[in-house]
Each structure stands twice: as C-alpha cells, then as structure tokens.
Amino acid sequence: MPAFTLWTEQRVLLAVVRGGWNERTALDYAEAFKAAAKPLLGDDWAHIVYLDDWELGGPEIEPVVRGLVNWCLDHRLRLAAHVYSPNMVKKFQLDRMISDQTGQFEKRVYADETAAFAWLQARGFDTDSQQFDRRSA
C-alpha cells in the first residue's frame, strides 16, 4: 500500500497518509502534493488529511514538511483539517511542523471526519463527498 494518496474535490485537496515516514517519503509527498494542488492555485483552497494510519516520521521529515507548509501558505491554503484519533505523540510531532493559525491560515484537528467536513463546508469549501472509504484509497 502506498505511503500516501492525494486527490482533489472542488477547492479541497484530500490526503491519506500511511506508515512510518523517512526523508525520501516526505520529499515524495511534498512533490506529489504540489502537483495535486496545481489546479487549486490562484484561489483560496483547503486541505483535509487523514492521519490515523500514519506512524510518524523521523526528525529528518520535519524540515521537509515545514517547507511544504510554507509553500502552501504562500499559495493561499486557508484551512487544514487533520483527522485522527487522539494521540499525543502524533499531535506533538504535527504541532512541531504545522502551526494552528497564522495570518489567514487555520488548522484544526478532528477525531471525526464528519465534523472536519462540516467545518470546511461552513467556511465555504464544499467537497463532492462528506467522507471517504479508507479501503479504496
């Protein structure tokens, strides 16, 4: 199974990430993420990422992810919803790489994808579906 799956629905980039990540995986993700985001650029957009199957990464991924976050902010990413069951270690690593709010950007964490989709929709970012089947991604 691949380490990540990316797709867009309207003005939202969705991602599922899996397994333990090293620098190569993070670099591959950043490259694929930018390619997937290309049709969204030039307008405000949002991101939802499913992290339950992600098993963290070594410290070498952190500068790569921070660089991707900066790229996203420079290209009008406005909202990011992280979906995963409560996990303090995961939260700690994600918080080291991604701030909760800066300028016009806001990130929220949800244990339930329905609440994440509702937040995006309330802020003007609809998707074609309000959930996805992890088995097919």
The string of pLDDT tens digits covering residues 14-61 is: 999 999 999 999 999 999 999 999 999 999 999 999 999 999 999 999
Per-residue pLDDT, 101: 81
**Is residue 131 over pLDDT 70?**
no
Separation in Å, CA 89 to CA 22, 41, 55: 17, 32, 10
CB neighbours of residue 50 within 10 Å: 22
Please report where in the chains the tokens 């939260």 appear, as a residue: 91
Q: Determine the Cα–Cα distance for residues 15 and 49; give it in Å rounded to an integer.
A: 5
The string of pLDDT tens digits covering residues 78-108 is: 999 999 999 999 999 999 999 888 889 999 9
**Is residue 132 over pLDDT 70?**
no
CATH number of the domain that 104 lies in? 3.30.750.24
Candidate from 25-34, 36-45, 62-71, 121-130 with smallest mean pLDDT: 121-130
Kindly tell me the sign of the dihedral angle through the C-alpha atoms of 102, 68, 12, 4.
Answer: negative
60-71: buried (b, 16+ CB within 10 Å) or exposed (e) per residue? ebeebbeebbee
Q: Which of 21, 134, 37 is nearest to 80 (CA)?
A: 37
Structural domain of 68: 4-136
**Is residue 136 over pLDDT 60?**
no
For 24, residues 6+ apart whose C-beta sits below 8 A from its C-beta are: none
What secondary structure letter does DSSP report for 44?
A: -
Does 121 or 101 have the greater pLDDT score?
121
Average pLDDT along the chain: 93
Provide the domain count of the chain: 1
Q: Determine the Cα–Cα distance for residues 5 and 7; give it in Å rounded to an integer.
A: 7
**Is residue 5 over pLDDT 50?**
yes
What secondary structure letter does DSSP report for 11?
A: T
